[in-house]
Homo-oligomer: A and B are copies of this chain.
Amino acid sequence: MSLLIVGTLAFDALETPFGKVDRIIGGSGTYAALAASNFTQPTNLISIVGGDFPEEEMNELKARGVKFDGVDVMADEKSFFWSGRYHMDMNTRDTLVTDLNVLAKFDPKIPQSYEGSEYVMLGNLMPAVQISVLEQLKSKPKLVIMDTMNFWMDIAMDDLQKVLGMVDLLMVNDSEARQLSGEYSLVKAARKIQAMGPKYVIVKKGEHGALLFHGDKIFSAPALPLEDVFDPTGAGDSFAGGFIGYLARVDSTSFESMKAAIIMGSAIASFCVEKFGPERLKEISAADIEARVNEFISLSNFEVRG
């Protein structure tokens, strides 16, 4: 089934307790599209880059079935740049630099070739941009999922509320779920968020896994306990890309399928954090993913007897 991903193609500079890189490829679109390509092709990508974004990176994505008809290349401008430093727990980080560059001019247009996309992922972007994409869709997708962040809650809450009313599923981390709902209990937070629009809420808890809420149903997915989290950048976007890529592949939006999709997303994210940037995501094979999914099964499987 056709998949549409809206996200950034960017440069990142990163510091973790394990090392430092000055300028590597990043962006939610990069991570999500790489992740999704393991499950479904093509991926219709909507993004914007400057003339500095490497041709070979785009070619690598194209070779994985990522379509660039909806990617605006502004030859005389610079790509989005983000720099951050992770704390020891790897769940929290400080943003050091945010250079919007081309992102300040991002006015996404959905090309005709993308029409009829049935699975849609809105990466973490200005809510007005997310709304614009949804308003351009001529047919109703089977599933629209979105990511967001505390920053938009602080400065664009009205637009954020509007886009929440237009999507099926919101994916946020635990502190964002708490901020958005004003509730400390994640059960209460998820209920309030569902009342804002999305019938499904995924709360990402980093090394503690993820929770999926839908009505009274809850699914708790474990995270794979890792010796080292080398670089958490892109873990959330890889998770989202793996999640929706798997759903597009099995062409289902049932709660049961979403549970499996969370395991797939978690497996992809667990690879992502093993090296800096998207490097590890480019290496993994179908066999690697299958082995990792089996680790998740043995990790969380149990049997109770009287």
A to B CB contacts below 8 Å, 26 in the list: A88-B184, A89-B184, A185-B229, A186-B207, A186-B225, A205-B208, A208-B208, A208-B209, A209-B220, A209-B222, A211-B225, A218-B225, A219-B300, A219-B302, A220-B222, A220-B223, A220-B225, A220-B299, A221-B302, A256-B303, A259-B302, A260-B302, A260-B304, A263-B302, A297-B304, A300-B300
Cβ of A140 within 8 Å of any chain B Cβ, yes or no, is: no
- The number of times this chain is found in the oligomer is 2
B220 touches A187 (CB 8 A): no
Q: Which 7 A-B pairs have the closest CB atoms?
A: A220-B222, A208-B208, A259-B302, A260-B304, A187-B227, A187-B225, A220-B299
Residues of B within 8 A of A134 (CB): none
Cβ of A62 within 8 Å of any chain B Cβ, yes or no, is: no
Interface range for A = 35 or more
Residues of B within 8 A of A287 (CB): none
Taking CB atoms and an 8 Å cut-off, the chain A residues in 232-271 that contact chain B are 250, 256, 259-260, 262-264
Distance (Å) between the CB of A211 and the closest chain B CB? 6
Cα separation A249 to B297 with both chains bound (whole Å): 27
Cα separation A188 to B228 with both chains bound (whole Å): 9
Which B-chain residue is minimally distant from A304 (CB atoms)? Answer: B260
Cβ of A104 within 8 Å of any chain B Cβ, yes or no, is: no
Residues of B within 8 A of A211 (CB): 225
Cβ of A155 within 8 Å of any chain B Cβ, yes or no, is: no
